[in-house]
Amino acid sequence: MIEASADLISVPPNPYDLFRSWYDEALADERIEMADAIALATCNSLGVLSNRMVLMKSYDEQGVVFATNYASRKGQDLKQNPQAALLWWWPVLGRQVRMEGAVDRVSESESDQLFNDRPLASRVAACLSKQSSVIKDREQLLQEHRKLLQKGAPTRPNDWGGFRLRPFAIEFWLSRPSRMHDRWHYRQTGQQWQITRLSP
């Protein structure tokens, strides 16, 4: 792991300012292939945890947006328990960001835009795939995908759309020598963010 060389003495009062700075640096770094990749952790009504990688579609001070099939395991988890955690990990920068918060579906129009922004083959896959369900034959699935591609651009299926995580807690982790890392924890209290420094 590369230890970060930046010497951040203080952090801004708004965590989104720091996130924007770190994310923009990750996007600009040619060593990082997918700066928008995040680990999404969910938990169902029985307390069973699940984790997977997804792509961040957008973010602002209202939260972080990602998309999926509503019938998938993560979609069902979020229906039963609309809380989740996100993790960005940029090892070449020696940085990670964690967010925890409530999750809700974005508007229909926003989901339509998310769907239409995808490449055609990905839109077709979203229509075809019953995500997380058992399939008997991958080749048959691929054949169906090729057939649907020939029919042109599909409309967004009802079981696919976006979610927005609205964080109430955000933590920034910065690698330091000798594992004496820096950690800043933001917790939302009303309209303000309370900032604390955590032990490595």
| 100-133 confidence digits (pLDDT tens) | 999 999 999 999 999 999 999 999 999 888 887 7
Which alpha helices (DSSP H) does the chain contain, by range? 15-28, 73-80, 108-116, 120-128, 138-150
pLDDT in tens, 66-90: 999 999 999 999 999 999 999 999 9
Residue 140, token pair as written in the block? 């048959």
Residue 4 included in any domain: no
90-109 tens-digit pLDDT? 999 999 999 999 999 999 99
pLDDT in tens, 164-188: 999 999 999 999 989 889 999 999 9
Determine contact, residues 118/27, Cβ cutoff 8 Å: no
Whole-number Å distance between alpha carbons of 66 and 161: 9
SS3 98: strand
For the residues 34-63, what does the mean pLDDT come to?
Answer: 97
Q: Which domain holds residue 46?
A: 15-116+160-198
Identified catalytic residue from 179, 183, 187, 197: 179
Is 49 within a domain?
yes
In order of 31, 124, 154, the CA distances from 150 in angstroms are: 36, 10, 11
Give pLDDT tens digits for 31-42.
999 999 999 999
pTM, 2 dp: 0.89
Place of tokens 């952790």: 41
Output the pLDDT for position 2: 43
User: Considering the domain boundaries, does residue 150 fall inside one?
Assistant: no
Direct distance between the N- and C-terminal alpha carbons of the chain, in angstroms, rounded to an integer: 16
**Both structure tokens of 56:** 């961040």
Greatest alpha-carbon pair distance for the chain in Å reads 58
DSSP state of 118: S
Give me 10's structure tokens: 């203080």
What percentage of the chain carries pLDDT values higher than 90? 78
Q: Supply the pLDDT for residue 9.
A: 56
- Examine residue 66 and state whether it is found in any structural domain, yes or no: yes
Which H or E element spans position 77? helix 73-80
Does 96 map to a domain?
yes
Q: What is the mean pLDDT of the chain?
A: 92
> Does 40 fall in a domain?
yes
CATH number at residue 61: 2.30.110.10
What mean pLDDT is predicted for residues 134-153? 85
| Residue 130 domain flag | no
Q: What is the distance between the alpha carbons of residues 186 and 155, in angstroms, rounded to a whole number? A: 40
Residue 179 annotated in active site: yes
